[in-house]
Amino acid sequence: MMKKVIAVRDLVVVRGEREVLPGISLDVSAGVTGLLGPSGCGKTTLMRSLVGAQRVRSGTVEVLGEPAGSASLRDRIGYVTQAASVYDDLTVAENLAFFARVLGVDRASVDEAVAAVALDDHRDQVVGRLSGGQRSRAGLAVALLGKPDLLVLDEPTVGLDPVLRRDLWELFHRIADAGAAVLVSSHVMDEAERCHRLLLMREGRIIADGSPDEIRERTGTTDIEAAFLHLVEDTEPAA
């Protein structure tokens, strides 16, 4: 049994009038874990809870053995929101140098992060003038600074071309191979195959949890999209 990196128990999050997470429980271990589900199912809210940015109503969230949001976790988690979360009026290198100073890591890790997302050729370009894909990779590079033990990535591959998506997934696997846990959300089901483990989410609940093969087998389907639909029809009360 691999060590648990994330342990969520009965987490309830209410945003406005809506109960976005009505009491979710899940575990995440090392490796690349995909959090898949349609837009609006609560993926972002769950990820924000993991990094301690979300106000929660009840339940427990433990990350790397400590309550989520603890001060000691702040330099151990790399987090990328759906927005690239970088400064558009600074260059790639300037952005990274700034965040590196905040994290207290050295300049060498800036070069490593730039190389990891293959932005060497663009390091002195202002982020606002980069393409959408390059911009989101700049945001990802910031999350890689200081080699965090956990990466929480909110839809990092959305809108990227197929080659770039493949490269990024390879990067996630390299990071996982080096010992970190990587949690990646996506609403594109065909990204499922690239994960060690999947959490399928719908309306604030986990409806399936296992390796892609296990989930396909359990539902008797050939791809994850069909498995998802099968699970949804199963849980829906007959009209």
Partner 1 sequence: MSGRITLAVAGRVLRQVRRDHRTLAMLLVVPCVLISLLWWMFEDLPGDLFDRFGPGLLAMFPFIVMFLVTSVTTLRERSSGTLERLLTMPMGKLDFLLGYALAFGLLAAVQSALAVAVSVGLLGLEVHGSVWLLGVVAVADAVLGTALGLLVSAFATTEFQAVQFMPAFVLPQILLCGLFVPREAMPGVLEAVSNVLPMSYAVDAMQELVGAADTGAIWRSVAIVACFALASLGLGAATLRRRTP
Q: Point out which residues bind partner 1 (CB under 8 A).
A: 15-16, 51-56, 69, 71, 74-75, 77, 79-90, 94, 98-99, 101-104, 126, 142
Give the nearer residue to partner 1 in terms of CB position, either 14 or 232: 14
Residue written as tokens 């837009």? 39
Give the nearer residue to partner 1 in terms of CB position, either 78 or 212: 78
Give the nearer residue to partner 1 in terms of CB position, either 144 or 208: 144
Give the nearer residue to partner 1 in terms of CB position, either 93 or 227: 93
Give the nearer residue to partner 1 in terms of CB position, either 129 or 166: 129
Q: CB of 43: closest distance to partner 1 in angstroms?
A: 16
Q: CB of 79: closest distance to partner 1 in angstroms?
A: 5
Q: CB of 35: closest distance to partner 1 in angstroms?
A: 18
CA nearest to 182, candidates 31, 26, 74: 31
Q: CB of 159: closest distance to partner 1 in angstroms?
A: 16
- Residues with Cβ within 8 Å of 61's Cβ and at least 6 positions away in sequence, in order, are 6, 7, 8, 9, 11, 49, 50, 67, 68
Sign of CA dihedral 217, 219, 220, 226: negative
Q: CB of 123: closest distance to partner 1 in angstroms?
A: 15
Asked if 13 and 49 touch (Cβ cutoff 8 Å), the reply is: yes
**Cβ-count burial of 124 within 10 angstroms (0-12 exposed, 13-18 middle, 19+ buried)?**
exposed
Asked if 92 and 114 touch (Cβ cutoff 8 Å), the reply is: yes
SS3 call for 128? helix
